[in-house]
Chain A
Amino acid sequence: MRILSLGRLTLCLFAVGAGLSTAGVFAEERDANDPVAALAKLIDQRIDERIAAEKGVAARPADDGEFLRRVYLDIAGKTPTVADLRDFLADESPDKRHKVVEELLDGPSYITNFAHFWRSVMIPEADSNPEVRFLLPAFEAWLRQRIKDNVPYDKLVREILEMTVDPRQAANPFQPQSGVNALSFYQAKQLKPENLAASTARMFLGIRIECAQCHDHPFDEWKQEQFWGYAAFFAGLNREQGGVQGLVNSILETLGPTQLEIPGKNKKVTPTYFDGTAAQLGFRDSPRRILADWMVGQENPYFTRTLANRLWGHFFGLGIVHPIDDFTLENPPSHPELLDDLAKGFAAQGHDVKFLIRAITSTRVYQRSSRQTDPTQENGRLFAKMALKGLTPEQIFDSIAQATGFFEQFANRNPMMMDGNSPRAEFLQTFENSRDSVTETQTTILQALSMMNGKFVEDATSLDNSATLSAVIEFPLMTNADRIETLYLAALGRPPSADELRRMEDYVKTGGPTGDWKRALGDIFWALLNSSEFLFNR
């Protein structure tokens, strides 16, 4: 793994506000030899040039609290604890943002969060198909190993495309150590050439070619024959007829030049790249290996750009091409040169995903506030402010748990568990939203009712059951202002504004409708957990 030399970075303090609320710290003068800094600089340049050209105004830099909560959610998939926050806010070193990114990338939560991320990209079927859900433990375990070792992205994709499909490697739900490999991917696609073609094209090339499965693509250049020509790379895989669905106890794979018939067309096609060139296959060649060579090769214009766009989309809520998997002529990138820069930089650094994460998170663009200061910022494709990204159901639950000190047995995290009555399962079911566009998540009535009146939040805000609340109340040396601030940090990852603090202090002083200052603090915590701000990564 490549180690970044932090010492070579010259960082300068941009601005430091009073007290807890410090403004952003950026690497302004960077060593041109540091590829992370170089790419970050290029990103800032490209984005700012466009903002200027469109007569836009960029938002202010994100303050430390905003940055920390964001970078925790994006990299580690959860919010920081109050202690994390206080340490970070108190840290006066100029490169503390940089340091926290490194800490997070080295931590276990990065591994689980990104294993989940890649799993959602690669086997989205699991969200709607319970049969496929059985495959997840083994697949995510495999992903976690690869992410832990920071396996380069091209190697990861090669491993998936080239793996020997041997039924003896299949995951067995009753043997947790079995099947820690990518075979689940093939099982989830039912070993069908058309499914494997559609999903690999979408995942690795950003091409939604599945419409061309049945007819020429209505909105793009893809023709039905191209789809099946591409699918023919997977035509060597065959499951014996009559096998039990979902099980791969009887796979046959034919090597050498394969053929695939276009259904209903009485026409056979051989493995053909998207540019129309037929693949040259020897009799002992695996068509999938030949495809992998082309897929990750330098001539393929899609591979690295798709990855760069996907990661960009993860961190900014919107892709440079958006929707993320939809590279078509009709759907041009907002910043084509930038996408090329990202792709080139990524390839030059050995397809290192962490490199792109480091570069993206150190930009001014990423470290902008989500707070809108100018109408031009409403155009999300300008990236003049940070988009509000809705938390995933898992993030919401884990963040409430984090904020309130709720403890749940780890066993309930097992995707095989069908215990619909655990607080987490019930919560995830209520909050199960479309995951396709994080910037357009919406709240349902049942979600609102669950947050307002549900037992989980009720306990979190009751004096008897909430660890955070009781700690805040019982800690003897705290003033009401301290207490309110702690609740804000726990829920929103930021201290209250002066105006908010005044309002909340007044409320605690009067004790709310019950005249009890302790209950009044519970009311405030309730309001914070129910606020839009809590449900967004901002």
Chain B
Amino acid sequence: MSNSTSAHFPNLSRRDWLRLTACGTLGISQSGWLAALADETAKSPDRKRSCILLWMTGGPSQTDTFDLKPGHANGGEVKPIDTSVPGIQISEHLPLLAQQMKHCAIVRSMSTKEGDHARATYLMRTGYLPQGPVQFPTIGSVWSKELGKAESELPNFVSVAPFRFLSPGAFGPGFLGPRHAPLVVGDGQPGGNTDYEKSLQVKNLAVGKDVAASETDARLDLLSGLETDFLKRNPGVTASSHRAAYLAAVRMMRSEAVKAFELTDETDALRDAYGRNQFGQGCLLARRLVERGVPFVEVSLNGVPGGAGGLGWDTHQGNFEGVKSLCGVLDPAWSTLLKDLKERGLLDSTLVIWMGEFGRTPNINAMKGRDHFPNAWSTVLCGGGIRGGQVVGKTSDDGMKVDDRPVATSDLLATACLALGIDPMKQNMSNVGRPVRVADPEASPIHNVLA
């Protein structure tokens, strides 16, 4: 009988399995080298870039963050401040980020047409509009598939606190399948989560407290016997993916790299700088994961602890207080992330993207709120592969339309692909048997923001 399996799943022998279960083999051989390795990967020219996506659930107001309109009624009460880059001004609520502006390229001319949370979220996070039965994967799945290694100790895609409810399809691996699904940590409920120390841990990573380590090994050994017999009877991808997932799970349970989730290893000063909240600590986690070779991490900002309780940046009412308190979480986390990456030599190899599903109306409604607005809004690209300290595009004085260089979703995502070193024209086979490209082939990347 042939030992055929797909190219993705090397046939895992009983011995491979046992090697993992044999007490501590992995643990011992790996202790100590991680720090050295992290240092090496950061410097290696072969290293592909990693990506950290800061996802702003609900759609943040561009007028109160990156595209201020002082002197116009639409501008509202938020004041602009100078940044470390002469000529670029941003919101007074982002003073720390203003000091990092040399790493950032602000895109002020997003123009996307979708004003519904579900559809816009799907579009921004997959690069495509929903099309019948095609299950488009989220960019984290697509990009990490290109950037990651099959046998890494940690999953190639980690998602921190996703709020999936409005558009679940926009957060999953779609037609790429569960092998490219994110490892999800954190609590995605809006309103912020105070128990972040616990929720940022990987669920079910530790065996039950009643189960001794020797018992786990014995159980895995029993399981290994069952699996070997079963695979012999039923060779093929489906069954071996099960085994591969268990191997990856055990590998992670017993790896040194999983210490990425132990945020208490960091100094109090640094943890304070990121902000003692789920988003801030999520950004710190993102750095620790990227440092250990994880190619795609996303961190969602869905709300503020003790905040109004609405959905993140969906500030239909009380926009100005909402934006201010959200920026209070965003500003220290994001700016510390950039500084921290820079100090560790990781910023050149890490692309940081800031975006939500759309912007908000420049005009202010009767409830002092701003509504959904896809016509002219802002996103920000920073770090690896990006020529920072510049602004792309321009909106009109009232902010109602794009005056220069409209940027479609596909343009932005294709630009990010190029910054990461991914071929946007590469194809994946979809669930309907039609090939789908990494980015929409009609995209026109923003070449002048690329380093």
Q: Which A residues are within 8 Å of any B CB, using their own CB?
A: 124, 127-131, 198-199, 202, 208, 210-211, 218-219, 245, 323, 325-326, 331, 370-372, 375, 378, 388, 390, 432-434, 436-437, 439-450, 452-455, 458, 462, 497, 500, 503-504, 507, 512-514, 519, 523-524, 526-528, 530-533, 535-536, 538
B59 CB to nearest chain A CB (Å): 17
The interface residues of chain A lying within 8 Å CB-to-CB of B239 are 388, 532, 536
- Cβ-closest chain A residue relative to B233: A371
- Cβ-closest chain A residue relative to B207: A453
CA distance A175 to B246 in the complex (A): 45
- Cβ-closest chain A residue relative to B243: A532
- Cβ-closest chain B residue relative to A129: B118
B166-209 with Cβ < 8 A to chain A: 166-169, 172-175, 177-179, 181, 183-184, 202-208
Contact A202 B218 (CB under 8 A): no
CA distance A446 to B241 in the complex (A): 13
Interface of A is mostly: helix
Binding stretch for chain A, among B143-151, B374-382, B415-423, B431-439: B431-439
Contact B131 A452 (CB under 8 A): no
Contact A514 B212 (CB under 8 A): yes
B448 at the interface (CB under 8 A from A): no
Contact A372 B235 (CB under 8 A): yes
Contact B238 A390 (CB under 8 A): yes
From B133, B179, B229, contact of A208 by CB (8 A):
B133
Binding stretch for chain A, among B106-114, B220-228, B349-357: B220-228
B332 at the interface (CB under 8 A from A): no
The interface residues of chain A lying within 8 Å CB-to-CB of B233 are 370-372
Candidate in B168, B219, B244, B248 with the most chain A CB atoms within 10 angstroms: B219
Contact A513 B238 (CB under 8 A): no
Contact B245 A531 (CB under 8 A): no
- Cβ-closest chain A residue relative to B165: A130
B217 at the interface (CB under 8 A from A): yes
Candidate in A440, A531, A538 with the most chain B CB atoms within 10 angstroms: A531
CA distance A325 to B432 in the complex (A): 9
- Cβ-closest chain B residue relative to A328: B433
Contacts A124-B133, A323-B432, A453-B207 given: A527-B234 contact, CB under 8 Å? no
Contact A434 B242 (CB under 8 A): no
Per CB-CB distance, the 5 closest pairs between chain A and chain B, nearest first, are: A513-B214, A443-B245, A527-B222, A448-B249, A442-B241
B310 at the interface (CB under 8 A from A): no
B236 at the interface (CB under 8 A from A): yes
Contact B2 A128 (CB under 8 A): no
Contacts A434-B135, A443-B241, A513-B212 given: A532-B227 contact, CB under 8 Å? yes
Contact B431 A523 (CB under 8 A): no
Contact B243 A453 (CB under 8 A): no
Contact A452 B133 (CB under 8 A): no
B155 at the interface (CB under 8 A from A): yes
Candidate in B165, B184, B432 with the most chain A CB atoms within 10 angstroms: B432
CA distance A512 to B241 in the complex (A): 28
Contact A371 B234 (CB under 8 A): yes
Contacts A129-B118, A449-B205, A513-B212 given: A326-B431 contact, CB under 8 Å? no
B20 at the interface (CB under 8 A from A): no
Contact B132 A208 (CB under 8 A): yes
The interface residues of chain B lying within 8 Å CB-to-CB of A434 are 135, 173-175, 177-178, 431
The interface residues of chain A lying within 8 Å CB-to-CB of B214 are 513-514
B24 CB to nearest chain A CB (Å): 15
Q: Count A-B contacts at CB 8 Å.
A: 188
Contact A447 B217 (CB under 8 A): no
B215 at the interface (CB under 8 A from A): yes
CA distance A127 to B118 in the complex (A): 13
A464 CB to nearest chain B CB (Å): 9
B366 at the interface (CB under 8 A from A): no
The interface residues of chain A lying within 8 Å CB-to-CB of B219 are 523, 526-527, 530
B30 at the interface (CB under 8 A from A): no
Contacts A198-B132, A208-B133, A326-B433 given: A532-B242 contact, CB under 8 Å? yes
B364 at the interface (CB under 8 A from A): no
Contact A453 B204 (CB under 8 A): yes
The interface residues of chain B lying within 8 Å CB-to-CB of A436 are 133, 135, 175, 431
B294 CB to nearest chain A CB (Å): 13
Contact B178 A433 (CB under 8 A): yes
From B130, B177, B218, contact of A512 by CB (8 A):
B218
B450 at the interface (CB under 8 A from A): no
CA distance A202 to B166 in the complex (A): 26
A425 CB to nearest chain B CB (Å): 12
Contact A326 B432 (CB under 8 A): yes
The interface residues of chain B lying within 8 Å CB-to-CB of A245 are 116
The interface residues of chain B lying within 8 Å CB-to-CB of A532 are 226-227, 230-231, 234, 239, 242-243
B20 CB to nearest chain A CB (Å): 12
Contact A210 B242 (CB under 8 A): no
Contact B234 A447 (CB under 8 A): no
B7 at the interface (CB under 8 A from A): no
The interface residues of chain B lying within 8 Å CB-to-CB of A530 are 219, 223, 246
The interface residues of chain A lying within 8 Å CB-to-CB of B235 are 372, 378
Contact B181 A446 (CB under 8 A): yes
B210 at the interface (CB under 8 A from A): yes
Contacts A512-B218, A527-B222 given: A535-B132 contact, CB under 8 Å? no
B84 at the interface (CB under 8 A from A): no
- Cβ-closest chain A residue relative to B247: A448
CA distance A535 to B227 in the complex (A): 12
Contact A442 B177 (CB under 8 A): yes
Contact A453 B165 (CB under 8 A): no
From A124, A446, A514, A533, contact of B230 by CB (8 A):
A533
B278-322 with Cβ < 8 A to chain A: none
The interface residues of chain A lying within 8 Å CB-to-CB of B173 are 434
B446 at the interface (CB under 8 A from A): no
Contacts A388-B239, A527-B223 given: A440-B132 contact, CB under 8 Å? no
Contact A446 B183 (CB under 8 A): yes
- Cβ-closest chain A residue relative to B221: A527
25 sample A-B contacts, Cβ–Cβ < 8 Å, listed by A number: A127-B169, A198-B132, A202-B132, A218-B434, A372-B234, A388-B238, A432-B168, A436-B431, A437-B431, A442-B179, A443-B178, A443-B245, A446-B181, A446-B184, A447-B245, A449-B204, A454-B203, A462-B210, A500-B226, A512-B218, A514-B212, A526-B219, A532-B226, A532-B234, A532-B242
CA distance A497 to B40 in the complex (A): 51
- Cβ-closest chain B residue relative to A130: B165
Contacts A370-B234, A532-B243 given: A449-B202 contact, CB under 8 Å? yes
From B155, B208, B234, contact of A445 by CB (8 A):
B155
- Cβ-closest chain B residue relative to A198: B132
Contact A444 B215 (CB under 8 A): no
B444 at the interface (CB under 8 A from A): no
A140 CB to nearest chain B CB (Å): 19
- Cβ-closest chain B residue relative to A374: B1
Candidate in A437, A449, A453, A523 with the most chain B CB atoms within 10 angstroms: A449
Contacts A208-B133, A453-B204, A458-B208 given: A536-B238 contact, CB under 8 Å? yes
B218 CB to nearest chain A CB (Å): 5
Contact A442 B245 (CB under 8 A): yes
The interface residues of chain B lying within 8 Å CB-to-CB of A439 are 238
B114-152 interface bits toward A, Cβ cutoff 8 Å, 1 = contact, 0 = none: 001010000000000011110100000000000000000
B183 CB to nearest chain A CB (Å): 6
B273 at the interface (CB under 8 A from A): no
A373 CB to nearest chain B CB (Å): 9
Contact A443 B229 (CB under 8 A): no
Contact A445 B230 (CB under 8 A): no
Contact A202 B133 (CB under 8 A): yes
CA distance A8 to B177 in the complex (A): 48
Contact B222 A507 (CB under 8 A): yes
From A211, A390, A437, A513, contact of B215 by CB (8 A):
A513
From A219, A442, A453, contact of B206 by CB (8 A):
A453
The interface residues of chain B lying within 8 Å CB-to-CB of A375 are 1-2
From B181, B225, B253, contact of A444 by CB (8 A):
B181
Contacts A512-B218, A519-B215 given: A453-B205 contact, CB under 8 Å? yes
CA distance A532 to B223 in the complex (A): 9
